[in-house]
Chains A and B, each alone.
Chain A
Amino acid sequence: MTTRIIVVTSGKGGVGKTTTSASFASGLALRGFKTAVIDFDVGLRNLDLIMGCERRVVYDFVNVIQGEANLHQALIKDKHCENLFVLPASQTRDKDALSEEGVEKVLKELEHMGFDYVICDSPAGIEHGAIMALTFADEALIVTNPEVSSIRDSDRILGILQSKSRRAKEGREAVKEHLVVTRYSARRVEEGEMLSYKDVQELLRVPLLGVIPESETVLQASNSGAPVIHTKESEAAEAYQDVVSRFLGEEREMRFVTYEKPGLLKRIFGGA
């Protein structure tokens, strides 16, 4: 199989790109695919923290691009799964250090190393770093919160994907788009305080890959340096598992999108 390059992007910041990148990459690796996840957020790196490898960063993406280290030296093997490698961003450079030729060279080399998937964790915004993250993508995960500003920014990045990606520029088949709605609260949707995932999908007109419920376990996972997909009995973890399954072509019913009022027993004994 040739390497598939997947950008995780959103336009807006703080919607869950890095969380999604970490869990999605881990999920693919857990299914046996050799996967690399690259942090494109040069200057504001976070992925290493969420993956829990921040103390093992010696060389980074920019070092590799500038020839100061080779890819083998910079790739960090994930401590949770066998087939996963992290390429951290540099914290001390700025995003202009990412040259198009440099990024292409690194991606080519990952292909030669036999990676099945390369996940590109995009920075927020629509500037150089975000453009570099999506330039070489075959597929895109559009991470969107159910609120209007996030939706508009996602729409903007979809337009950029249509015009700036290599696939678009070379007139090849368009980048395959997937919608991931994150920080979803079925209760607030029920109460009319939040757009439903159907509204989001209707506005963006991109096939829905999954809905990740708002969950405290996401924050706990981030703080403990283990992608949330590894957390046992967490709705967010299961939702990410579903995302990976659907991405790989399996049918999965949408879960955690309907709100059930807590019953009497649950109110007395407390919910899980």
Chain B
Amino acid sequence: MPFMAKPIEFKAGTLTAMSAVLREVDNVRLADALQVMLGGMGEFFAGEPTIIDISQAKSLPDRVDWSGLQSLLRRYGLQPVALRGAPEHLHDAARRAGLAVLGDEAAKLKAATTVHPVAAPVAEVMAEPAVGSTGAAPAPADSLPPSVGTMVVDRTIRSGQQIYAKGADLVILGAVSNGAEVIADGSIHCYGPLRGRAIAGAAGNRQARIFTTNFGPELISVAGVFRTFEKGIPAAIAGKPTQAQLRGEDDKAALVLDPLKLD
């Protein structure tokens, strides 16, 4: 007998999603905050699945306008799929609004270690959306996400400018000025003086690295572990070719800076 494909199959899978950690559930105030944060830039995100996390909300009303909240997030290109950290009495309305309600296991996944509004996504289990808690283990954060390529910027990034290579490595052929910010979900390669802020592994990739031919940043970060240079940059690497990478486990992880030999 020839193999007959079943019209439907169920498979467990993992999904990387954004966490929108709300400290308010008042849609008007959230709209204001998003406006300030993203400068009214509609479609700032690109349709990422998003988990609404209200475990840190200061006070929760009896009712929440879930559909209003969802359309607010969609306006910025976020696709709300689930809710977590919500007390019982809000569950039914959230499910009716099409949100999966995640249980405590998921809520415990990670306290957001946000350095940047776009830098706090968390690996999330979403085997059966709309059915509630799955209880499955989270995907290991160390697994490499599939690369979607490289973003190349052929110019200097000036103070006040921000570049985000979503799901990609970022190559800059020029300087990153003081007061500029470059962000990549993968690694950052800067062929010029790196003087601003560089945030690699913004979606949690701990293997991401930062490379530059001239090291002098205000801040560097890999997978949320960041380092500033208040006391100056070590003389061995200041202004020199350098790479930064994350070493050590979880709480003890630190950014290690090594000179690069370029010959």
Contact = CB atoms under 8 A, between A and B. Distances in A.
B160 A159 contact: yes
A196 B155 CA distance: 24
Contacts of B156: 158, 205
B187 interface: no
Contacts of A69: none
A156 B162 CA distance: 12
Contact of A156 (B155, B159, B175, B195): B159
Describe B's contact surface by its main secondary structure: loop
Interface string A143-171: 00000000011011011101100000000
A156 B160 contact: yes
A158 B195 CA distance: 16
Most chain B C-beta atoms within 10 Å of own C-beta, residue among A153, A159, A160, A163: A159
A152 B179 contact: yes
A158 B174 CA distance: 14
A159 B179 CA distance: 11
B227 interface: no
B161 interface: yes
B159 A159 contact: yes
Interface in A181-219: 203, 205
Nearest to A174: B155
A144 to B, nearest CB: 13
A156 B179 contact: yes
B179 A205 contact: no
Contact of A155 (B155, B174, B179, B192): B179
Contacts of B177: 152, 155, 159, 203
A163 B160 CA distance: 11
Contacts of A158: 156, 158
Nearest to B195: A203
A200 B158 CA distance: 14
B175 A160 contact: no
A163 B175 CA distance: 17
B178 interface: yes
A153 B178 CA distance: 10
Interface string A205-248: 10000000000000000000000000000000000000000000
Contacts of B178: 152, 155
A162 B174 CA distance: 14
A162 B180 CA distance: 14
A205 B160 contact: no
A269 B229 CA distance: 51
Interface string B160-181: 1100000000000011011110
B161 A205 contact: no
Contacts of B179: 152, 155-156
Nearest to A126: B160
A163 B180 CA distance: 14
A205 B175 contact: yes
B194 to A, nearest CB: 13
Contacts of B195: 203
A163 B163 CA distance: 13
Contacts of B155: 162
B159 A152 contact: yes
Given A152-B177, A156-B158, A159-B160, 20 more contacts: A152-B159, A153-B159, A155-B159, A155-B180, A156-B159, A156-B160, A156-B179, A158-B156, A158-B158, A159-B157, A159-B159, A159-B180, A160-B160, A162-B158, A162-B161, A203-B177, A203-B195, A205-B174, A205-B175, A205-B192
The 8 closest A-B pairs by CB, nearest first: A159-B158, A155-B159, A156-B159, A159-B161, A155-B177, A156-B160, A155-B158, A158-B158
18 contacts: A152-B177, A153-B159, A155-B158, A155-B178, A156-B159, A156-B160, A156-B179, A158-B156, A159-B158, A159-B159, A159-B160, A159-B161, A159-B180, A160-B160, A162-B155, A205-B156, A205-B175, A205-B192
